[in-house]
Amino acid sequence: MEILLVGTFHLGDTSDMNELSEKDKSKYSDNDFEQLANDIAEFQADQVFVEYPFLLQEHLTSVYRSAEVYEINEAFKGNEIYQIGFRLAKKLGHDAIYAVDWNEQPEESLDLGLVAEGISKTEFEEIMNRVKLVLEKDSTIIQQGNIIELYKHINSHEYIVNDHQVYVDLMQLDDEIAFEWVTKYWYYRNLRIVRNIKKSILPETKRAVILYGSAHNYLFKQLLEDGKAIKVIPYGDWSE
């Protein structure tokens, strides 16, 4: 089967750095998200997977099926799951959209913020400053107002590799908390999500879309393609 991997910014409130600011979000209207959903819909996916807790599938299905009938919580309407995922799945005539996320904290405390106060403080700040520079470049592209070009950019090979390099560099710090956080939380989380995706693939599905925070792109592609049955196509490499 083929999977179109669409990394996204988080549109709702989140502690994730990969979030559009209110100023940047104001640059895009419903029409822009409609345009993006129309473009992705050309892939003709049989299923759409989104960053919503796997164990809350029943709730997500209920919200999805009532989206055109009842008033939806404003916080949910501001989320990329609604703005892009719901639009896409409804355009394709799907009766459900699939929750595959896992995002629980390990038993031991792995606060990455503590690295900023530890022996690797300087190196950690350098890594975080690189992230800020990338987000500033993203903001420049955002101001141009072309949402498809923006999403092609954050799903390009260069962007995906550079994004993943942050996690590789964190693992090399002398501060063990960084290594533990990447291996016991970040890698573990992505393994669980990919497991959930594979569990959720219907027997008849030949094409699917994964809409997720773009930081997951590198590991998703690697882990999903470990089995020869799946071909992953980053949105940045896909053309109709």
Give the rounded percent of residues in the chain with a pLDDT score beyond 90.
69
DSSP string, 147-170: HHHHHHHHTSHHHHHHHHHHHHHH
Strand partners, 3: 208, 232
Residue 10, SS3? strand
The pLDDT of residue 96? 97
Higher pLDDT among residues 136 and 210, named by residue: 210
pLDDT digits over 22-35, tens only?
Answer: 777 778 888 999 99
The pLDDT of residue 112? 86
Quick check: 44 pLDDT over 90?
Answer: yes
Q: Which band of pLDDT confidence, cut at 50, 70 and 90, is reported for residue 19?
A: low
Average pLDDT of the segment spanning 149-172 = 96
Structure tokens at 152: 């092609």
pLDDT digits over 55-107, tens only?
Answer: 999 999 999 998 765 455 565 667 899 999 999 999 999 999 999 999 998 77
CA–CA distance, 168 with 188 (Å, rounded to integer): 14
DSSP string, 25-60: HTT--HHHHHHHHHHHHTT--SEEEEEEEGGGHHHH
HSE at residue 95, side-chain half, CA atoms within 13 A, is: 0
Q: Which band of pLDDT confidence, cut at 50, 70 and 90, is reported for residue 42?
A: very high
The pLDDT of residue 105? 81
Q: Which band of pLDDT confidence, cut at 50, 70 and 90, is reported for residue 14?
A: low
pLDDT digits over 45-55, tens only?
Answer: 999 999 999 99
The pLDDT of residue 193? 98
Quote the number of domains for the chain. 1
Burial 131-142, CB ≥16 within 10 A → b, else e: eeebbeebeeeb
Q: Are 157 and 165 in contact (CB under 8 A)?
A: no
Average pLDDT of the segment spanning 176-185 = 92
Strand partners, 7: 212
The pLDDT of residue 164? 97
Q: Which band of pLDDT confidence, cut at 50, 70 and 90, is reported for residue 239?
A: confident
Residue 74, phi then psi, degrees to nearest 5: -60, -35
Find the domain containing 98 and state its range: 2-237
Higher pLDDT among residues 218 and 110, named by residue: 218
CA–CA distance, 119 with 122 (Å, rounded to integer): 8
The pLDDT of residue 22? 72
The pLDDT of residue 233? 98
Q: Is the dihedral of CA 214, 32, 86, 52 positive or negative?
A: positive
Residue 98, phi then psi, degrees to nearest 5: -110, 125
Q: Which single residue is written with the structure tokens 């955002």?
A: 142
